[in-house]
Amino acid sequence: MQLHLSPSMRSITISSSNGFVDLMKIKVAARHISYRTLFHTILILAFLLPFVFILTALVTLEGTVNKCSSLDCLGRRLGPRLLGRGDDSGKLVRDFYKILNQVNAEAVPNDLKLPQSFSQLVSEMKSKKYNAKEFAMILKGMMEKAEKETRVSKFAELTNKHFAASAVPKGIHCLSLRLTDEYSSNAHARRQLPSPELLPILSDNSYHHFVLSTDNILAASVVVASAVKSSLKPDKIVFHVITDKKTYAGMHSWFALNPVFPAIVEVKGVHQFEWLTRENVPVLEAVENHFGIRNYYHGNHVAGANLSETTPRTFASKLQARSPKYISLLNHLRIYLPELFPNLEKVVFLDDDVVIQRDLSPLWEIDLGGKVNGAVETCKGEDEWVMSKRFKNYFNFSHPLISKNLNPDECAWAYGMNIFDLHAWRRTDIRDKYHTWLKENLKSNLTMWKLGTLPPALIAFRGHVHPIDSSWHMLGLGYQNKTNIDSVQKAAVIHYNGQAKPWLEIGFEHLRPFWTKYINYSNDFIRNCHILE
């Protein structure tokens, strides 16, 4: 862009840089404009020209992109900007926002026919020529329909996952049947456990006593094998495996035919404990036979649930709380340890979905300070999902008894790997308090809590828990897909609590090897039952 003054100073011309197009021409009348005025005019133009140049360049570039090359086109674009006005696109966007807000406040008509796909929507727009509001309403209807279908599918997935977690896999069922048959036909499978000369060790407090309560033979084999292989003193290990009457023969056969020398294993059925009678545990009989409870754990898990107001995560948590195992005597058995093992002073209780990866001998050296239960607290840790459990996560604080007696922010602790001082326990009323709160929850129609055995234990053991380092017990491998592998490798005990057990097809593939490496796949029973083949 150039500025030209005529020799006579009677005209000023502004032209393009190539000189062919005159953008502006000003004629000066000498009689009416003084040189001083002319000088000021030139000064103002010199100030404005850089801005005119930049704006023109921008519009020219925009015009090039949009195939706009004529001066008329540039004028239409440049004019509104020089006058401080935007183009029409801004107005269109504002109008569309206004329509979207209007449609957002309205309900989608029930009789509105929605396209089944985006391509169908485009096709109908061309043929029916929808206006902006009609288009927005149809789009809203399609999105709401997709969201509803996705939500329904998610709840169906969670329900199916719950049934998969509650079922017994074919291979594990096969293993139990074959081992039970072996018990009846093979004398070696019926041999006494442990051998008579080792019986005194079962009550010798110089040994490290583990208690495992389960009806899953494969899971029990992994717990025992991992504990023995990880121990620096396997000859000091004694396992007390407790199972139910129907599984006793198969469980006994497994450990009789697959000894874990030099460790000692005892297998007992609940029917073999003289103390464990219906008279001593009436509340548990009530739990097992209560119609409302059986219906709650074995009934329709979706009926009565308001899925429109429930998040998938909350629904999954409620389903997990309805696992039939929570009304099993085996699951409540740990509360009777002092009576079941009257001669023992200290035991480590293990769930059947754990794997031991480090020597646990130091647990017996921990000073519990007169407390009964050495446990990992679950309200502290890097994993905010797994390690963020407080009393408010387990109890219904709208219930007057709960709100009156408990603090919602009190830290919870974990079942699954606990060091119990039975000598200190026998001086407390923990068992009676456990029974009392179970009865209160039954009276309240299960409205105080619904998650199995941990809530009444949280109450019964209040004031009797000694926190131990979290590295002893890592939780969440059965429901936390994003579990940190480095943390798993470093933990002494890893716990597959949750639905995704490692022996199920729904187990997480990247976490399963920590469990399967303790399975002897060359064993005839394992091979013939195609365990996790």
Task: Summarize pLDDT for 478-532 with one digit per residue, the tens.
Answer: 988 888 899 999 999 999 998 899 999 989 999 999 999 999 999 999 999 998 7
Q: Are 420 and 337 in contact (CB under 8 A)?
A: yes
Q: Binning pLDDT at 50, 70 and 90, where does residue 358 land?
A: very high
Say yes or no to pLDDT of 84 above 70.
Answer: no
Which pair of structure tokens corresponds to residue 229?
């292989």
Q: Binning pLDDT at 50, 70 and 90, where does residue 69 land?
A: low
Q: What is the average pLDDT across 405-429?
A: 96
pLDDT value of position 38:
61
Work out the percent of the chain whose per-residue pLDDT is above 70: 72
Say yes or no to pLDDT of 340 above 70.
Answer: yes
Cβ neighbours of 352 (radius 10 Å):
23
Say yes or no to pLDDT of 438 above 70.
Answer: yes
Q: Binning pLDDT at 50, 70 and 90, where does residue 265 land?
A: very high
pLDDT value of position 103:
81
Which pair of structure tokens corresponds to residue 416?
């699954």
455 Cβ neighbours under 8 A, 6+ residues apart: 394, 395, 448, 449
Least confident of 11-20, 258-267, 456-465: 11-20
Say yes or no to pLDDT of 172 above 70.
Answer: yes
Phi, psi of 375 (to 5 degrees): -145, 160
pLDDT value of position 71:
47
- Which of 156-170, 347-361, 373-387 is most confident? 347-361
- Which of 62-66, 88-92, 233-237 is most confident? 233-237
- What CA–CA distance (Å, rounded) separates 506 from 281? 35
pTM reported for the whole predicted model: 0.73
The string of pLDDT tens digits covering residues 441-471 is 888 888 898 767 899 999 999 999 999 999 9
pLDDT value of position 98:
83
Q: What is the average pLDDT across 205-230?
A: 97
Say yes or no to pLDDT of 57 above 90.
Answer: no
Q: Are 219 and 251 in contact (CB under 8 A)?
A: no
Burial of 208 (0-12, 13-18, 19+ CB in 10 A): buried
Question: Where are any strands of DSSP class E within 80-120?
Answer: none
Phi, psi of 181 (to 5 degrees): -65, -40
Q: Are 525 and 183 in contact (CB under 8 A)?
A: no
pLDDT, greater one: 376 or 153: 376
Per-residue CA distances from 114 to 99, 143, 150, 280, 362 (Å):
19, 10, 17, 64, 66
pLDDT value of position 20:
47
Q: What is the average pLDDT across 70-74?
A: 51
Least confident of 109-113, 270-274, 366-370, 449-453: 449-453
In terms of residues, how long is the chain?
533
Which pair of structure tokens corresponds to residue 465?
């828990």
Fold for 169-529, please state it. Spore Coat Polysaccharide Biosynthesis Protein SpsA; Chain A (3.90.550)
Q: Are 297 and 288 in contact (CB under 8 A)?
A: no
- What CA–CA distance (Å, rounded) separates 389 from 405? 18
- What CA–CA distance (Å, rounded) separates 330 from 351? 10
pLDDT value of position 364:
96
Q: Binning pLDDT at 50, 70 and 90, where does residue 287 land?
A: low
Which pair of structure tokens corresponds to residue 485?
């592998």
Say yes or no to pLDDT of 21 above 70.
Answer: no
Least confident of 37-46, 163-172, 275-284: 37-46
pLDDT, greater one: 71 or 247: 247
Least confident of 55-64, 163-172, 228-237: 55-64
Q: Binning pLDDT at 50, 70 and 90, where does residue 307 land?
A: low
Average model confidence (pLDDT) for the chain? 82
Q: Binning pLDDT at 50, 70 and 90, where does residue 248 land?
A: very high
Work out the percent of the chain whose per-residue pLDDT is above 90: 49
pLDDT, greater one: 35 or 421: 421
pLDDT value of position 408:
96
Supply the DSSP symbol for 250: H
Say yes or no to pLDDT of 368 above 90.
Answer: yes
- Which of 70-74, 148-152, 276-280, 400-404 is most confident? 400-404
